[in-house]
Chain A
Amino acid sequence: NLTDPTAKVSIQKTYDLTKYLEHQLSTLASTYLNYLGPPFNDPDFSPPRVNGTTQIPSATVDFELWRGLNDRLRLVENYRAYSVLLRYLELMTQDLSCPELRRHFNHFCTSLQGLIVSIASVMTSLGYPPPAHPLRVRGVPGVSGGGAWALAGTASSAPSTFLKKMDDFWLLKELQIWLWRSAKDFNRLKKRSLPQTA
Chain B
Amino acid sequence: SGVRIQYERIGSDVTMQCGTLGSDASITWKVNGSDVDTSVLEGPNLILRNVTLSYNGLYSCFEDSSGDLQDQISLRIGSPPREPVVTCRSNTYPKGFYCTWYLPFPTYIPNDFELTALQNTKEIECQRDAVHKNKCHLKFYQMFSSLKYKVTVTAKNALGKSSATITFDEFSIVKPDPPEKVTAKPIPDNPRRLEVAWQTPSSWPEPDTFPLKFFLRYRPLILDKWQHVELSDTNSHTITDACTGKEYIIQVAAKDNDIGTWSDWSVPIHATPWMEELKPPTNENQPPLITTTTSSSSVPPQSPSYQVSATTRNSATTIP
Contacts and interface: CB of A to CB of B under 8 A. Distances in A.
A60 B145 contact: yes
A66 B143 contact: yes
Contacts of B211: 187, 191
B94 interface: yes
B146 A60 contact: yes
B144 A177 contact: yes
Interface residues of A, number: 24
Contacts of A22: 258
A16 interface: no
Contact of B144 (A19, A44, A61, A187): A61
B167 A62 contact: no
A19 to B, nearest CB: 7
Contact of A60 (B95, B144, B167, B208): B144
Chain B binding surface, main DSSP class? loop
A129 B132 CA distance: 54
Given A60-B146, A170-B146, A181-B144, A187 B257 contact: yes
A67 to B, nearest CB: 6
Residue of A60, A63, A173 with highest tally of chain B CB at under 10 A: A63
Nearest to A173: B146
Interface string B137-164: 0001111111110100000000000000
B146 A58 contact: yes
B146 A61 contact: no
Nearest to B171: A180
A19 B258 CA distance: 8
Nearest to A59: B144
Contacts of A61: 142-144
A44 B209 contact: no
Given A46-B148, A46-B167, A184-B258, A191 B208 contact: yes
Contacts of A177: 144-146, 171
A188 B207 CA distance: 11
A183 interface: yes
B148 A180 contact: no
B36 to A, nearest CB: 53
B259 interface: yes
Nearest to B143: A63
Given A44-B167, A67-B209, A180-B171, A59 B146 contact: yes
A174 interface: yes
B146 A174 contact: yes
**Which are the 5 A-B pairs with shortest beta-carbon distances?**
A59-B144, A183-B258, A181-B144, A46-B148, A60-B145
